[in-house]
Chains A and B, each alone.
Chain A
Amino acid sequence: MRTSSCGNASVSLISPRDSGGSFGIKSAVYAYVVLIGLAARRFGVPVRWTEDRLEHLAASSASTARVTELEAGFDSDGKLIALRYDAIEDVGAYVRAPEPATLYRMHGSLAGAYDVPNVAARNRVVLTNRCPTGLNRGFGGPQVYFALERTMAIAAKRLDLDPAEVARRNLIGRDAFPYRTASGGLYDSGDYGACLERALEVARYEERRDEQAAARAAGRLVGIGIACVVEPSISNMGYITLAQTAAERAQTLPKSGNAEGATVVVNPLGGVTVRISTTPQGQGHKTVAAQVVADTLGLEPADIDVVSELDTATDAWTVASGNYSSRFSGVGAGAVLRAAEKVARKLEALAAAQLGCEPHEVELRDAKAWHAAEAVSVRRLAGIAHWHPDALPDGVEPGLHETAYYAAPNLAPPDEDDRVVSSAAHGFLVDVAVVEVERTTGAVQVRDYVSVHDAGRLLNPLIAEGQVRGGFAHGVGAALFERIVYDEDGNLLTGTFMDYLCPTAADVPSLRMEHLETQSPFTALGAKGLGEGTTMSAPVAIANAVADALGVDALELPLTPARVWELLA
């Protein structure tokens, strides 16, 4: 399809430093993006697109709606041996790239945290006259885990086992990593059993069950729900091609991996600037990039200037660049580390010539390069690289400007049997929700919520906590509030934030969290993504708790008071 006659080199993207919230909405090429380009060429002026709230809610992008039929086969010991998914995905008015990727983002993780040898999946897409769909925090995860973890809770009832016990019997063992899933995923690391036991301990699970029995005896509707969730991060660009047949895939360039670039520049005065291409919208990429570079070069984070504007004509990027699939701590920070390491090696080479030692004997700390008790400042080394090429050791280029790329390993294209390593890193979390349902109003009160999380090495604990809390708020929205509604004639009824209800700070229950740290062998810093786990877990953890409170199996999200009241009637 030829839409505009301009050379490929004249198409570039410039993304500002502060571009505001996203949560996935920016990960699509919207019709207006093409239209403003055409309009700008036609009229020879800059063109801006302004979209108001109603237009945005009506026609930009929404999460998919999915109906999943999930069959689960257990042996007599409560061991899950087979899963069969049949999913029907409503992608709205048309399939807009990267859809139908919501179906495939989780492809390698269809069995979640469980060791299941047999997994079958049938995916069908339906087009409706609703808003087209796209990425939304958790992307595909909430849909899969709602089906899977509801199934596990229902199975526990039928097996006459406690849900925690069913999880315990089925979690992938700590010695099984790296673990190959039936659908092709490669889980990097984890200690799922330890995470479960810690979550149960923090939640005082046994005590809660006793309290629940007492409350029930008094006529109160108290329920407890558990969700065990593997949180994939760093998506394999190749999984999107699962929407094609293996034969179709063979006709085109195979796609794989998830690569990122970064540049570290040292000016003649020793000032350090990092350029990143991960287009942060408030996730703290600049803070973490500064930490990584400072640690590598023996400087303080405050000394590092981080530039997050992106210009694809000049910056280090790949088609996978950007801010999605919780990829920063894995590959974004990885690229920063590799670029900083290149600069460090060069500083060491320069210092070795000054200090009369071998480069590997040089240690960078306190803004100096040290050999034993002798040191030369980074500032002086930078001055040499810029001002004094004559002093450079053999084979060392002038300047201190290094770009590096990093791609997570082990992300191959889908195989002929539609198996794929859909993500590079896999965090894990166990959530325990305690709810009480008010009989007269149907209101769901979350009495306690615990999330014990393992996202590998935490690069910045404060940012990690913010991400988990933010993900939780989104999960609570999906569980209790958010719903796009059309009337019988297809008119949108939820065109304002008075009708489309997002939880406000007052509506988000308090969250108790802990972190375990099982490092990833597949990322440069051992870190895994962590921004989406609680978005995946909270809807089903709360749903499991409500189902437990009401003693019902069939639930639909969101669990609005009116819906819950009808379940009670």
Chain B
Amino acid sequence: MKPVPFTYVRAESVEHAVETMRAHGGEAKLLAGGQSLVPALNMRLARPTMLVDLNRVPGLDRIDEKNGDIRIGALVRQSTAERTRLVRERCPLLAESLPLVGHFVTRNRGTIGGSIAHADAAAELPLALVALGGSVITTLRTISAAEFFVGHFTTVLAEDELVVATAWPRTYPGEGSAIVEFAPRHGDFALASSACVLRVEDGAVAEARLAVGSVGERPELVDAEPLLGSTLDDDRVRSVGASAAAAVDPPPNLHGSPAYRRALLGTLVERAVGTAWARATGKSV
């Protein structure tokens, strides 16, 4: 619980933050809500020589709708997003994900951009962003979620590149989504998780996106093709769950063996798909 000594810089602007990062070539870390970084510092799992505090940077705390996306500034607190009507109405998958992130006190500090940039393989927001096909807007470019996450705690961000906002595709009538996870206690990192977005037309699945989390190096889309073109029944849902489970190779974990986590994932995929279907159609599987 004693961090390695570091220098602290309060960034005045995005440009200032980027310059400072550039000047320290990989030795600096950005501090947003600090809910993952500060424990990592205290446990000496992270040993940056400099912290660049983003919390006073203006202009990163807006939520608005643009071109069919809900665009959320990087510094928007998770609890703020959770309470925002636009998020609840236009992006129900994000709204459902947020209460699963840590605890309400950590969400009062934790930011949406911070959770995405931190890229914990078991985190809910990266999983939801991948499932929705959203994107990450940085100081240099816009990156699709599927390309953004490389591995556990690893993204394609350059050393002097800053996440400015994330873009979450809005929902349309006929869509249903769900995120489910299994953790030993509420607020713990999930042992397995899954998120699903379905668009239903004339009683059949017209579009399907299915992602799994916690069981590999990053949240990943899995094959949702078998869901397309029909109504969903138990067998179909079960077989999608089984193929998703067969496709992953979760590492052993303090709270569950690979076999357990694989089986758990199959169950969670079934639940995510089944719930998304029910929400899209008002009918259970």
Contact = CB atoms under 8 A, between A and B. Distances in A.
Nearest to B266: A440
A496 interface: yes
B267 A440 contact: yes
B184 A504 contact: no
A498 B189 contact: yes
B6 interface: no
Contacts of A561: 182, 184, 255-256, 260
Interface string A479-496: 001000100000001101
Contacts of A54: 1, 43
Contacts of A440: 263-264, 267
B260 A507 contact: no
B62 interface: no
Contacts of B264: 440-441, 565
A53 B182 contact: no
A357 interface: no
A504 B39 CA distance: 19
A52 B189 CA distance: 23
A498 B188 contact: yes
A interface SS class: loop
A565 B258 CA distance: 12
Contacts of B43: 54, 496
Interface residues of A, number: 24
Query: Considering residues A485, A507, A562, which has the most beta carbons from chain B within 10 angstroms of its beta carbon?
Result: A562
Interface in A268-295: none
Interface in A449-469: none
A442 B260 contact: yes
A565 B263 contact: yes
A441 to B, nearest CB: 6
B85 interface: no
A501 B257 contact: no
A485 B267 CA distance: 27
Interface residues of B, number: 20
A366 interface: no
A24 interface: no
Contacts of B185: 481, 501, 503-504, 506-507
A58 to B, nearest CB: 12
Query: Considering residues A493, A498, A499, A504, which has the most beta carbons from chain B within 10 angstroms of its beta carbon?
Result: A498
A440 B270 CA distance: 11
B254 interface: yes
B2 interface: yes
Interface string B230-255: 00000000000000000000000011
B83 interface: no
B186 A499 contact: no
Given A54-B43, A440-B263, A562 B255 contact: yes
Contacts of B255: 560-562
A562 B256 contact: yes
Contacts, number: 52
Nearest to A487: B254
A394 to B, nearest CB: 65
Nearest to A501: B184
B263 A507 contact: no
A481 B185 CA distance: 9
Nearest to B264: A441
A507 B184 CA distance: 10
A230 B142 CA distance: 66
A552 B1 CA distance: 43
Nearest to A480: B184
Nearest to B192: A441
A219 B51 CA distance: 55
Contacts of B1: 52-54
A485 B254 CA distance: 8
Given A52-B1, A566-B260, A560 B184 contact: yes
A86 to B, nearest CB: 31
A559 to B, nearest CB: 12
A188 B185 CA distance: 41
Query: Considering residues B2, B43, B188, B254, which has the most beta carbons from chain A within 10 angstroms of its beta carbon?
Result: B254
Interface string A115-144: 000000000000000000000000000000
Contacts of A560: 184, 255-256
A443 B256 CA distance: 12
Contact of B188 (A441, A485, A494, A501): A501
Given A52-B2, A441-B264, A566-B260, A494 B186 contact: no
A498 B260 CA distance: 20
Query: Considering residues B43, B186, B260, B267, which has the most beta carbons from chain A within 10 angstroms of its beta carbon?
Result: B260
Contacts of B186: 504, 506-507
Given A52-B2, A441-B264, A565-B263, A481 B184 contact: yes
Interface in A14-66: 52-54
Query: Considering residues A53, A496, A560, A561, which has the most beta carbons from chain B within 10 angstroms of its beta carbon?
Result: A561
Contacts of A442: 260
A257 to B, nearest CB: 42
B36 to A, nearest CB: 11
A440 B254 CA distance: 19
B212 to A, nearest CB: 16
A475 to B, nearest CB: 16
Interface in A501-555: 501, 503-504, 506-507
Contacts of B263: 440, 565
Interface in B7-28: none
Contact of B182 (A52, A441, A506): A441
Contacts of B182: 441, 443, 561
A494 B254 contact: yes
A504 B184 CA distance: 11
A54 B45 CA distance: 13
B225 to A, nearest CB: 24
B256 A499 contact: no
A565 B267 CA distance: 13
Closest 5 CB pairs of A and B: A52-B1, A562-B256, A440-B267, A562-B260, A507-B185
Given A481-B184, A565-B260, 11 more contacts: A52-B2, A440-B267, A496-B39, A498-B188, A504-B186, A560-B184, A560-B256, A561-B255, A562-B191, A565-B264, A566-B257
Interface of B: 1-2, 39, 43, 182, 184-189, 191, 254-257, 260, 263-264, 267
20 contacts: A52-B1, A53-B1, A54-B43, A440-B267, A441-B182, A441-B264, A441-B267, A494-B254, A496-B39, A499-B254, A501-B188, A503-B185, A506-B185, A507-B185, A560-B255, A561-B255, A561-B256, A561-B260, A562-B256, A565-B263
